[in-house]
């Protein structure tokens, strides 16, 4: 029997053993790409700044605690930042800016009420750039002290974020500008503006005399060039439970009617936070003696108020005294408008700072001036004068309330409109969208807002107006200087009355 070796070679049609190498390479590539994608997305999100304060550091010139956000997974927060920042503003056709003179055939009413006298201050605020205009270099240098930049182009709003603002100031300020664009569609000109959102003015007149830089903020004074702009609280202040201005004013006025003048407590009243680096408020705390100084001074603890749902800090319940005191905080304070709204005779401790509307107040017309140098005695004199002249004191209080009632949101928007319009006329360049700016619309802002913020913002929505803005007063330096002189003379007269009484009492 012969031995035969038979080699069995695989048949050409028999299947090969599967190779996993290619699959492994593909899988590894996929996972690497996915990891890289997630890394890039995370990096992109970490660089995306929002109006709520994500990825923003506090202003270096006024440090404050960073905002803490509500608990959320990293994935959900990332999705929210992306959605709100890049996918919440629908396409809107470009709206060409219109002038007031082209509105006669647009359905708007042609009648224009005259703007209040304090609108004249817009001319004074913009005077540093009247001869040179505002150039790109002016705006560039203003950036060093700005928290954010606002650019309006054909009715669209773009915001470039540099630093965080304390609490929700930036969000509510931007919301106000969005409402202005809605109220007067196509009428707000293209503009490029730098904003700071902290309290104290920073553009010193002496330091910047050779090259003034335009910076908008909520207050100013004689030593600074900062341009005052309506503050955020006109649209609400979520951290202190304050609603939009007209809602708050209506409730305060109603609360002021619960007691007649003669049934109100014949003392001066102040309630606030003295722990805000405010020497005048600390001095005011020493005046808390009803018999000696005729004053009731109360400390406000906002942390405790928040725990109690702000039940003890309702402004409509704080109009039970004949006299209410206004004392500045770290700088100017938003409390002025609420204090004046009570209809009590407002005692204003000689302020160092002014906001956009307070420059129209007149001493002994709608408030009583208080000296900061002999504070308690000055308060006592005002209280004694008012109790000896109840009719005159009540009239001053009612005029103060009337002044605030005339400051409707229509007038606030008109002030914003005219300020932006006059500023835009000074620009020597065509505004452009900054590369790092994002478009902001009502949808994107509400998207990034927390629930409480969103509720307040929604309550201050506007619709396109059928009326034109009020008629802007022509520049009249003599008129403005006369008003300033009359104001100073009246304050000097009150000081003289106080001094005369003090001298008589010491004899």
pLDDT tens for each residue of 290-320:
999 999 999 988 777 777 777 778 999 999 9
Do 301 and 445 fall into the same domain? no
Residue-by-residue pLDDT tens, the chain, 507 positions = 444 444 454 555 555 555 677 777 666 666 655 554 444 556 667 789 999 999 999 999 888 888 777 656 667 788 889 899 998 998 765 555 665 555 555 555 667 899 999 999 999 999 999 999 999 999 999 999 999 999 999 999 999 999 999 999 999 999 999 999 999 999 999 999 999 999 999 999 999 999 999 999 999 999 999 999 999 999 999 999 999 999 999 999 999 999 999 999 999 999 999 999 999 999 999 999 999 999 999 998 877 777 777 777 899 999 999 999 999 999 999 999 999 999 999 999 999 999 999 999 999 999 999 999 999 999 999 999 999 999 999 999 999 999 999 999 999 999 999 999 999 999 999 999 999 999 999 999 999 999 999 999 999 999 999 999 999 999 888 888 998 999 999 999 999 898 888 776 655
Can you tell me which residue has the tokens 């001094």? 499
Q: What is the pLDDT of residue 310?
A: 79
Pairing, β 227-228 against β 265-272:
unpaired
Distance linking the first and last C-alpha atoms of the chain: 153
Do 126 and 193 fall into the same domain? yes
In a domain, 478, yes or no: no
Do 421 and 400 fall into the same domain? no
In a domain, 83, yes or no: no
Closest to 148 (Cα-Cα) out of 46, 216, 238, 202: 216
In a domain, 170, yes or no: yes
Which residues share a beta bridge with 429? none
The neighbour count for residue 102, using CB atoms within 10 Å, is 12
Do 456 and 387 fall into the same domain? no
Please state, in angstroms and rounded to a whole number, the distance separating the CA atoms of residues 385 and 493: 14
In a domain, 85, yes or no: no
Please state, in angstroms and rounded to a whole number, the distance separating the CA atoms of residues 133 and 135: 6
pTM score, two decimals?
0.89
What CATH number does the domain containing 261 carry?
3.40.50
Number of separate domains in the chain: 2
Do 326 and 416 fall into the same domain? no
In a domain, 122, yes or no: yes
8 Å CB contact between 338 and 206: no
Please state, in angstroms and rounded to a whole number, the distance separating the CA atoms of residues 421 and 126: 11
The helix/strand/coil state of 457 is helix
Please return the burial class of 169, using the count of CB atoms within 10 Å of its CB with bins 0-12, 13-18 and 19+: buried
In a domain, 10, yes or no: no
Please return the burial class of 338, using the count of CB atoms within 10 Å of its CB with bins 0-12, 13-18 and 19+: buried
Do 215 and 254 fall into the same domain? no
Please state, in angstroms and rounded to a whole number, the distance separating the CA atoms of residues 199 and 93: 37
Helices (H), 47-184: 74-86, 121-126, 136-142, 169-183
The helix/strand/coil state of 96 is coil
The neighbour count for residue 476, using CB atoms within 10 Å, is 13
Do 255 and 125 fall into the same domain? no
List, in order, residues 6 or more apart from 496 with CB less than 8 Å away.
none
What does the buried/exposed string (b/e) look like for 231-268 if buried means 16 or more CB atoms within 10 Å of the residue's CB? bbbbbbbbebbbbbbbebbebbbebbeeeebeebebbb
Of the three residues 385, 408, 431, the one that is the final residue of a domain is 408
In a domain, 289, yes or no: yes
Do 426 and 288 fall into the same domain? no
Sheet-wide strand order for 321-326: 295-299, 265-272, 321-326, 345-349, 368-370
Please state, in angstroms and rounded to a whole number, the distance separating the CA atoms of residues 346 and 322: 9
The boundaries of the domain holding residue 341 are 240-408
What is the four-CA torsion angle of 17, 22, 24, 28, rounded to 10 degrees? 180
The neighbour count for residue 289, using CB atoms within 10 Å, is 13
8 Å CB contact between 149 and 195: yes
8 Å CB contact between 129 and 189: no
In a domain, 334, yes or no: yes
Do 254 and 377 fall into the same domain? yes
Do 309 and 402 fall into the same domain? yes
Do 299 and 383 fall into the same domain? yes
Between the alpha carbon of residue 366 and those of residues 249, 320, 447, the distances in Å are 17, 18, 42
The neighbour count for residue 321, using CB atoms within 10 Å, is 21
Of the three residues 356, 376, 408, the one that is the final residue of a domain is 408
Please state, in angstroms and rounded to a whole number, the distance separating the CA atoms of residues 376 and 288: 9
Do 279 and 232 fall into the same domain? no
């Amino acid at each position: 029997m012969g031995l035969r070796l038979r080699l069995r070679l695989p048949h050409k049609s028999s299947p090969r053993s599967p190779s996993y190498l290619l699959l492994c390479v593909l899988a590894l590539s996929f996972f690497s790409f996915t990891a890289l994608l997630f890394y890039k997305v995370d990096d992109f999100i970490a660089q995306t700044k929002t109006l709520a304060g994500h990825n923003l550091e506090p202003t270096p010139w006024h440090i404050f605690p960073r905002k803490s956000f509500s608990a959320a997974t990293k994935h959900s927060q990332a999705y929210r930042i992306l959605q709100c920042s890049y996918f919440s503003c629908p396409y809107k056709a470009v709206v060409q800016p219109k002038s007031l003179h082209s509105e006669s055939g647009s359905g708007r009413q042609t009648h224009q009420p005259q703007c209040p006298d304090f609108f004249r201050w817009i001319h004074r605020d913009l005077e540093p750039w009247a001869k040179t205009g505002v150039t790109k270099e002016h705006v560039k240098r203003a950036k060093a002290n700005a928290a954010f930049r606002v650019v309006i182009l054909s009715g669209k709003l773009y915001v470039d974020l540099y630093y965080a603002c304390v609490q929700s100031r930036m969000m509510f300020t931007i919301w106000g500008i969005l409402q202005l664009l809605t109220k007067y569609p196509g009428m707000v000109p293209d503009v490029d503006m730098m904003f700071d959102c902290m309290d104290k003015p920073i553009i010193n007149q002496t330091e910047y005399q050779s090259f003034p830089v335009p910076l908008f903020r909520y207050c100013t004074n004689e030593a600074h060039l900062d341009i005052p702009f309506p503050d955020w609280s006109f649209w609400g202040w979520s951290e202190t439970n304050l609603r939009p201005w007209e809602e708050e004013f209506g409730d305060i006025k109603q609360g002021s009617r619960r007691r007649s003048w003669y049934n109100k407590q014949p003392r001066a009243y102040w309630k606030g936070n003295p722990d805000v680096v405010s020497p005048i408020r600390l001095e005011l705390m020493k005046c808390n003696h009803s018999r000696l100084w005729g004053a009731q001074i109360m400390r406000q603890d906002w942390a405790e108020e928040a725990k109690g749902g702000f039940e003890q800090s309702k402004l409509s319940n704080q109009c039970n005294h004949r006299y209410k005191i206004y004392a500045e905080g770290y700088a100017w304070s938003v409390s002025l408008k609420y204090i004046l709204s009570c209809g009590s005779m407002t005692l204003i401790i000689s302020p160092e700072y002014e906001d956009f509307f307070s420059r129209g107040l007149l001493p002994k017309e709608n408030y009583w001036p208080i000296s900061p140098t002999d504070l308690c005695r000055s308060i006592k004199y005002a209280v004694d004068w008012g109790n000896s002249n109840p009719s005159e004191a009540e009239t001053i209080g009612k005029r103060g309330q009337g002044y605030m009632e005339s400051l409707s949101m229509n007038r606030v928007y008109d002030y914003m409109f005219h300020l932006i319009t006059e500023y835009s006329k000074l620009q020597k360049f065509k505004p452009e969208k900054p590369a790092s700016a994002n478009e902001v619309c009502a949808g994107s802002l509400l998207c990034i807002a927390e629930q409480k913020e969103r509720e307040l913002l929604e309550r201050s929505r506007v619709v396109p107006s059928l009326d034109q803005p009020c008629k802007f007063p022509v520049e009249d330096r003599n008129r403005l200087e006369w008003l300033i002189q009359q104001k100073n003379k009246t304050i000097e007269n009150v000081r003289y009355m106080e001094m005369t009484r003090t001298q008589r009492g010491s004899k």
